[in-house]
Amino acid sequence: MSTGVTISSISDYAILGCGSVGYAVTEELVEQGKDVLIIDRDESRVESLRDQDLDARTADISEPETADFVTDRDVVLILASDVESNKQAVEHIRAVDDTQFVVARASDPVSGDELEEAGADIVINPSAVIAESALRALESGELEYNAGKLAQLVETTDERLAIVTQDSPDPDSIASAAALQAIASHLGVESDIIYLGDVGHQENRAFVNLLGIDLVQWDEIGDHAIYDTAAMVDHATSAEMDLDVDIVVDHHEPEVEYEPEFVDIRPNMSSTSTIMTKYIQEFDMNVSEEVATALLYGIRAETLDFKRDTTPADLTAAAYLYPFANHDTLEQVESPSMSPETLDVLAEAITNRDVQGSHLVSNAGLVRDREALTQAASHLLDLEGVTTTAVFGIADETIFLAGRSKDIRINIGKVLEDAYGEMGETAGHSTQASAEIPLGIFTGIQISEETRDTLLDLTEEAVKRTLFDAMGVDGSEGSNGS
């Protein structure tokens, strides 16, 4: 019986207490060619072990002389079901030799603490190990079941599968869609990755272009009826597309209630790319370099390179993808060239910055590319002493605002919701968020060439005051951070 665990180069072991747990460990060690000495107080059990050509001796592990039997062993595993005897064995061994590596069996957290205090290097609780193993088996079983259900649903597609991303898709949404498209292709189904808004952020455009991911704008599709199955990945709503949703995969709870045939929503994971990587593995596919690179970048983007809300599932998914990804492409995606528009917005935001404590708010004026606001907010977060930024600008009679924060005391998503939730639309979480507010709410003035400068002044004052209030700081004595 092999568990797949590889023991180190240490060769001398002692097992004290050879019940069911001790015997299972003994089997594994012997199979790997280790020299194992077994000590147990049950004479009939010891006799049975000797009949199997095992080195077994009869002794009470709670007695002091037992420690003398194991002085030549590098590792001692104390695995009896009687925790009090285990504790005494640890104490006796430590009284003789404090260099041996000692593993001891506990029955609960309290006895575990006692064994550690007695000198055990590692404490194991079989109940906890069994529970963890059961949960892993449950997760594996659920994934297998879900993969089968997903495959069955995708394969019912007669014409094409519509894979819907966020309106202005970010790397996680794009990568997740690319993964589902690869799964559909694996199942012999044609599909399109569809978005409603635009791919505005330069990093996202570089991401799509370098990896050759084909995205289709919804309004450019001549016949929407060709899609007889629809999936949403890392996305909130398909209301504006008038599609019946069959599949939803996300790491956030959707704002709109759906009743699709297939749902896999896991808020305990940091990215939808992590979820889709699990499906790629479950389908036992040959993941392409493009999809692997996209998924790895999607995970890294959502976790800020594993510095935010990272889970073990994210790390194991990234470890799986790493050998298949193109790391030169990743480097190019992360360092795209800056467009003149973004440079202008950043320059304007730097000039107009208003800093109060560690909070920075800036007006970038009239903007053509609103995605440039998010890049400006990210760049300004690198200023010394600044932990939270918000950059806003006006486009299409709307105030667009991008916020970023690395202050663990602030949830920038909640700040924007408190500030502008009743006026417009907000979205985001603790470290990054956005808001869209109709310009007229602040001014009531009709936009024209003559009133534009007045609007900018009034907007700047109103937005800053509201935002600083929501941050809990007095913005009346701000500076430009010089």
Domain boundaries, the chain: 13-125, 139-333, 340-471
Q: Which fold has domain 13-125?
A: Rossmann fold (3.40.50)
Pick the CATH number of 340-471 from 2.40.10.230, 3.10.310.30, 3.40.50.970, 3.20.20.70: 3.10.310.30
pLDDT given at position 5 = 45
pLDDT of residue 160: 93
Strands (E), 160-275: 160-164, 191-195, 215-217, 227-233, 247-250, 262-265
Residues of the chain with pLDDT under 70: 1-10, 200-203, 236-241, 254-258, 335-338, 441-453, 474-482
Residue 150's Cα: distance from chain center in Å?
22
Whether domain 139-333 has CATH 3.90.1300.10: the reply is no
pLDDT score at 163: 94
d(CA 373, CA 449): 23
Q: What is the pLDDT of residue 1?
A: 40
What is the predicted pLDDT for the residue at 298? 92
Segments of 172-254 assigned E as strands: 191-195, 215-217, 227-233, 247-250
Q: Which two tokens stand for residue 26?
A: 């003994």
pLDDT value for 6: 46
The span from the CA of 364 to the CA of 344, in Å, is: 9
- Say which residues have a Cβ less than 8 Å from residue 237's Cβ, sequence separation at least 6: 254, 255, 256
